[in-house]
């Protein structure tokens, strides 16, 4: 459905009138595919490039290098309306992603109005029907976002994203601003609205429990790069990249007395404006070798997935295949 082909994106960061601008490599040489009917999760620490990648996939940012293909066509060459019909977002904060001056019915019907689907009456009826599908009522159509709770606002955002029946929905931290009980409701709603696997999701999240519950495959990002990509079961059962192992080790346990887990990653990641040479993870990696600080690690694609690490040299079989 969508192919991210060697995509990079850079920002120019200015420090002030006497400080020269520097380049931030937010996304670096990312290759990714979104298959029909899957839930692809993208995980990593804050600042690793997840949201920038989401905006590139939505066509809201243009790649500095590479291209994003939608059904085989570069989205840079497509009309904005054509991209919007196929790909829709659900953003993190329902308090800021809805127009506070519009009624809920207008907000949900807006994609239909922009695409000139039907007349005002039919669009309103479709909006009311979609509100009911996401667990609200037709009466909510006449309310303002300020009259709704956070969970209800996110339901409105989901209704707006789905009303034009997109093939792909990109959810950028869709539940992180909500209470835990409401998060479960929203996640179950997204799962139920997948329509038997016909619709695909890209789920940007730092919540690994959510990812394990919903995702089909998981891509792990570190400082703008995909360092591991695998089926969800395989990645959680046998992670290969040291960073993935550290992320999984950092998950809080529900068992009494376990305390706060120690991931071994330290307090902060490296400065993205001045990334380390070689493998960017090597200053924090417990398995670092001499070549990690000087050479870019190879990308290994095999039956277990993809991993970018010197522990898996491309000339040798991976542990999965050698066993």
The model's confidence at residue 261, banded by pLDDT at 50, 70 and 90, is low
Q: For the chain, what is the mean pLDDT?
A: 88
Structure tokens at 104: 């809920």
pLDDT in tens, 74-121: 999 999 889 999 999 999 888 888 999 999 999 999 999 988 888 999
Closest CA to 201 of 284, 88, 285: 88
Question: Average pLDDT of 187-206?
Answer: 84
User: Of the given ranges (207-211, 224-228, 287-291), which has the lowest mean pLDDT?
Assistant: 207-211
Q: Are 46 and 206 in contact (CB under 8 A)?
A: yes
With beta carbons less than 8 A apart as the criterion, state whether 159 and 130 touch: yes
Res 263: pLDDT: 60
Average pLDDT estimate for 225-250? 94
**Do 76 and 67 touch, CB atoms closer than 8 A?**
yes
pLDDT bracket for residue 123 (50, 70, 90): very high
Structural tokens at position 187: 């996640």
Q: What percentage of the chain has pLDDT greater than the value 90?
A: 63
Q: Please report the pLDDT score of residue 321 as a whole number.
A: 43
Question: So what's the pLDDT on residue 238?
Answer: 94
Report whether pLDDT(316) > 50: no
Query: Are residues 261 and 249 in contact, defined by beta-carbon separation less than 8 angstroms?
Result: yes
Q: Identify whether the C-beta of residue 98 lies closer than 8 Å to the C-beta of residue 150.
A: no
pLDDT of residue 102: 94
pLDDT in tens, 146-171: 999 989 999 999 999 999 999 999 99
Pick the CATH number of 2-13+21-322 from 3.65.10.10, 3.90.1300.10, 3.40.225.10, 3.40.50.300: 3.40.50.300
225-231 and 65-70 strand pairing: unpaired
| 66-70, 139-143, 255-259, 304-308: least confidently modelled range | 255-259
Q: How far, in Å, CA of 316 to CA of 307, rounded?
A: 13
Over residues 253-262, mean pLDDT: 56
Task: Please report where in the chains the tokens 């920038």 appear, as a residue.
Answer: 52
- Whether the Cβ atoms of residue 228 and residue 235 lie closer than 8 Å to each other: yes
Q: Tell me the average pLDDT across 129-143.
A: 93
Whether residue 197 is predicted with pLDDT greater than 80 in this model: the reply is: no
Give the residue from 202, 237, 238, 234 showing the smallest Cα distance to 221.
202
What HEC string does the chain produce?
CEEEEEEEEEEEECCECCECCEEEEEEEEEEEEECCCCEEEEECCCCCCHHHHHHHHHCCCCCCEEEEEECCEEHHHCCHHHHHHHEEEECCCCCCCCCCCCCHHHHHHHHHHHCCCCCHHHHHHHHHHHHHHCCCCHHHHHCCHHHCCHHHHHHHHHHHHHCCCCCEEEEECCCCCCCHHHHHHHHHHHHHCCCCCCCEEEEECCCHHHHHHHCCEEEEEECCEEEEEEEHHHHHHCCCCHHHHHHHHCCCCCCCCCCCCCCCCCCCCCCCCCCCCCCCCHHHCCCCCHHHHCCCCCEEEECCEEEECCCCCCCCCCHHHHC
Q: How far apart are CA 199 and CA 167, in angstroms?
A: 5
18 falls in which pLDDT band (50, 70, 90)? Answer: confident
The partner residues of 24 in beta bridges, in order of sequence, read 11
Q: How buried is residue 144: exposed, middle or buried, by Cβ count under 10 Å (0-12/13-18/19+)?
A: middle
pLDDT the model gives residue 258? 54
Q: For residue 218, what are the β-bridge partners?
A: 41, 230
Q: How far apart are the first and last CA of the chain?
A: 33
What's the CA gap between 313 and 237, in Å, rounded? 22
Model pTM?
0.89
Pick from 176, 200, 179, 98: nearest CA to 140: 98
In this prediction, residue 162 carries a pLDDT of 92
């Amino acid at each position: 459905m969508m192919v991210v082909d060697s995509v990079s994106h850079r920002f120019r960061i200015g420090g002030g009138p006497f400080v020269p601008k520097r380049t931030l490599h937010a996304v670096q040489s990312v290759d990714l595919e979104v298959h029909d009917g899957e839930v692809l999760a993208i995980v990593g620490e804050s600042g690793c490039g997840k949201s920038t990648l989401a905006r590139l996939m939505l066509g809201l940012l243009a790649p500095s290098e590479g291209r994003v293909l939608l059904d085989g066509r570069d989205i840079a060459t497509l009309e904005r309306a054509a991209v919007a019909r196929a790909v829709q977002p659900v953003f993190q904060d329902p308090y800021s992603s809805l127009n506070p001056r519009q009624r809920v019915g207008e907000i949900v019907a807006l994609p239909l109005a922009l695409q000139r689907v039907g007349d005002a009456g039919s669009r309103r009826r479709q909006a009311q029907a979609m509100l009911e599908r996401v667990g609200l009522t037709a009466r909510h159509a006449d309310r303002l976002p300020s009259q709704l709770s956070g969970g209800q606002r996110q339901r409105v955002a989901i209704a707006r994203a789905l009303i034009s029946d997109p093939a792909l929905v990109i959810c950028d931290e869709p539940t992180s601003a909500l209470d835990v009980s409401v998060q479960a409701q929203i996640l179950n709603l997204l799962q139920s609205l997948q329509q038997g696997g016909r619709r695909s999701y890209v789920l940007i999240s730092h919540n690994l429990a959510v990812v394990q519950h919903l995702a089909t495959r998981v891509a792990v990002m570190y400082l703008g790069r995909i360092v591991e990509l695998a089926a969800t079961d395989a990645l959680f059962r046998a992670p290969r990249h040291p960073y993935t192992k550290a992320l999984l080790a950092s998950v809080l346990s529900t068992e009494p007395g376990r305390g706060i887990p120690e991931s071994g990653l330290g307090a902060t990641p490296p400065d993205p404006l001045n990334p380390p040479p070689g493998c960017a993870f090597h200053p924090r990696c417990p398995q670092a070798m001499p070549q990690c600080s000087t050479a870019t690690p190879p990308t290994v694609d095999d039956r277990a997935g993809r991993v970018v690490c010197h522990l898996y040299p491309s000339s040798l079989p991976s542990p999965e295949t050698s066993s």
